[in-house]
Chains A and B, each alone.
Chain A
């Protein structure tokens, strides 16, 4: 592999995961904060709130996972490698 392409791919893979995790991180923090607030206000609804929270966590996490998929493609299946 061309060393320039290799170097660029590694840097891009790092950026893809790193930048991609900022937004979901903020989002998950906000969601968890409001969930705790909801539980504190209404402790008997804890089960429902936890279910909704976990499901929405999975959706937010998938945004980071898209970055991860791009990073994995760059490292293991680089289309520009030949």
Chain B
């Protein structure tokens, strides 16, 4: 194994698992399961023996929870943010841990017959699923609070804005999906190309930049999900 294989790029190559009618991207599923397992283990270990003075892993999980609670509170508002913390937290933690695992763990050391392991979020199907979940969540939030009156917002502030308001429901998930996918893939591509040119030391600043942007992207996705939910919950009077 030389450095060139670790740095090699394969966009659009996937490890296909075929069933009768479906072909799924195996490498994305494997890494997402690994990440779910990692998050699950950390939260079970951190919260199985709760102390009133937290130490060790409990500190980490409490810090994460407080951070997510702040995001939800600023976006959704004091009264209704509590029931949306689990959703926003799930999305934030999954995206954050996947982005950082793609940047920090040497996935490419493990060789696959086709495609390569990497962050689950560099597959557009993952980000599309997360974006659609966000769509469903804000529709659910609006309809469960206001009932059929939720659809009144399509003709506000003026009826002729109806097409734009309907279009917005499609552009929201699309932009969420493309933003995350493009950022993560762009980071990996930049680092990969630079590794092919100069294998040592030079890519390190860009890797650090990648870590930073991927953390920001997780925050942006969670913030936007919160903002959309908050927007459909708010009252127009």
Contact = CB atoms under 8 A, between A and B. Distances in A.
Interface of A: 54-55, 58-59, 61-62, 65-66, 68-69, 72, 76-77
B219 interface: yes
A62 B183 contact: yes
B179 A68 contact: no
Interface string B172-194: 00010011011101100000000
Contacts, number: 40
Contact of A61 (B12, B183, B219, B223): B183
A58 B178 contact: no
B11 interface: yes
A69 B11 CA distance: 12
Instruction: Tell me what chain A mostly uses at the interface: helix, strand, loop, or mixed.
Output: helix
A82 to B, nearest CB: 14
B220 interface: yes
A72 B213 CA distance: 19
B216 interface: yes
B216 A69 contact: no
A68 B12 CA distance: 15
B220 A58 contact: yes
Given A55-B219, A58-B217, A72-B185, A65 B179 contact: yes
Contact of B175 (A61, A62, A68): A62
A65 B183 contact: yes
Contacts of A59: 220
Contacts of B219: 55, 58
